[in-house]
Amino acid sequence: MTRPTAVFSVLHPGNIRYFKEFMESLATQISECDVLLACDDVPDIGHLLRAHQSSLNVIVLPVKGTLVQIRQASIDWLRGLPYRYYVFADSDDIQPNDRVLAAVSCLSQYQVVAHDLLPFGAGGLSKPYWSKRLLNGQQLSRADIWQSNVFGLGNTSIRREVLLQFPALPENLLAIDWFLFYHALGNQSGVFTHQGAVHYRQHSENLAGTAQVTVERLKNICRVKMAHYSALGSTEAQEQRSALSGLLEKLEKDKKYAQEAVFQLNKQPISYFWWEETNYLYG
C-alpha cells in the first residue's frame, strides 16, 4: 500500500559524501514516508542504498541532462505518482525528525509550505534563520516573493495538485525553485512554519546560502534575478531586469561602489531571504 507522503530529492556525485547523513535523517521521521530519488549520474546507487533498505522504501529515477532538464524530468515523474503530499529536500541537508509531520500538518490547510532553515557547517548548528522575520503560520502570497524567495526545493512541501500548476521550465533559469513557486502562488497563499526546520548545510557549492556577501556573490545574485525576470516575461518583470542589469554594470565598472555596497550589506542585522540583497541597493 502506497503511503500518502513522499520525500523527494535529487542526488548527484557532488552530494554523495553527505548522502548517508541525509538518509539517516529520513529514517528517523516521526511520520512514515517513502523516498523518491532522482539520481543524476550516480555510480552504483544500489550500493549506496543497501544500508537503508530495511528502514526506508526508496524509489529511484535515473536522470541526465542540465539542471533544468533534470528538474523538469523529475516534475514530470512526480506528476505520475499517486502520493498526496510531496516534501522537497536537498540531499546535502539533514531533516529533523518532525519535518514530514510538520509538513503534513500544514498541508492540511495550505497547498504550499515553506519550512525555516537552521544553517550549519564546521561551527555547528546555527539559530533558526528566518523566524525573527516571518511568524510561525504566516501566510505568504506571490507578491511576497516578487523580489526575493523563501520557497526552495530543499525546504518546501506541497500537495500533489501543485505539481499541475508548475509551468514548463525555460532552459536559462538559475533559480528554478523561485520560478516554480512564484507560479504556484498565483491564486493562493502559502504558509511559513517554524516547525520541521531544515538543517541547511553551508558549503562552497551552494548556489544560494547564508554566507557573507561578497562582490562576486552580489554579481551572481544580479544574474540569477535577471534570468528569473526574463523568464517571467511581464512588463513589470522586464523593468526589474533592466534595473538589475544597470546595477550589475555598476558593480563591474565601479570597484569602489561595489566594495561599499558589500560593506553596507554585511552591516545590516538581517537574515536575508534568497536573492534579497540587491533590494537594498536600488528602489
The reported pTM is: 0.94
Count H helices and E strands in the chain, helices first: 8, 9
Residue 205: the pLDDT is 59
Which among 38-47, 101-110, 118-127 has the top mean pLDDT? 101-110
Q: Is the pLDDT of residue 275 over 60?
A: yes
Stretch (H or E) spanning 189: none
Q: What is the mean pLDDT of the chain?
A: 93
| pLDDT at site 283 | 46
Mean pLDDT confidence for 150-154: 97
Residue 53 burial (CB count, 10 A): 10
- Residue 218: C-alpha distances to residues 183, 225, 256 (Å): 25, 11, 14
Residue 86, all three cell numbers: 510531496
Confidence check: pLDDT of 210 > 70 = no
The grid coordinates listed for 16 are: 554523495
Location of C-alpha cell 497547498 = 111
Phi, psi of 60 (to 5 degrees): -115, 135
The proportion of the chain whose per-residue pLDDT surpasses 90, expressed as a percent, equals 87
| Mean pLDDT value across residues 234-239 | 96
CA dist 178 and 180 (Å) reads: 6
| Residue 125 β-bridge partners | 120
Residue 230 CB contacts under 8 Å (≥ 6 apart), including other chains:
172, 237, 238, 241
Instruction: State yes or no: pLDDT of 203 exceeds 90.
Output: no
DSSP-derived secondary structure letter, 170: P
Cβ neighbours of residue 5 closer than 8 Å, sequence gap 6 or more: 31, 32, 33, 34, 83, 84, 85, 86, 87, 100, 103, 104
pLDDT in tens, 114-133: 999 999 876 666 789 999 99
* Separation CA 12–CA 99 (nearest Å): 22
User: What is the biggest distance separating any 2 CA atoms in the chain, rounded to whole angstroms?
Assistant: 62
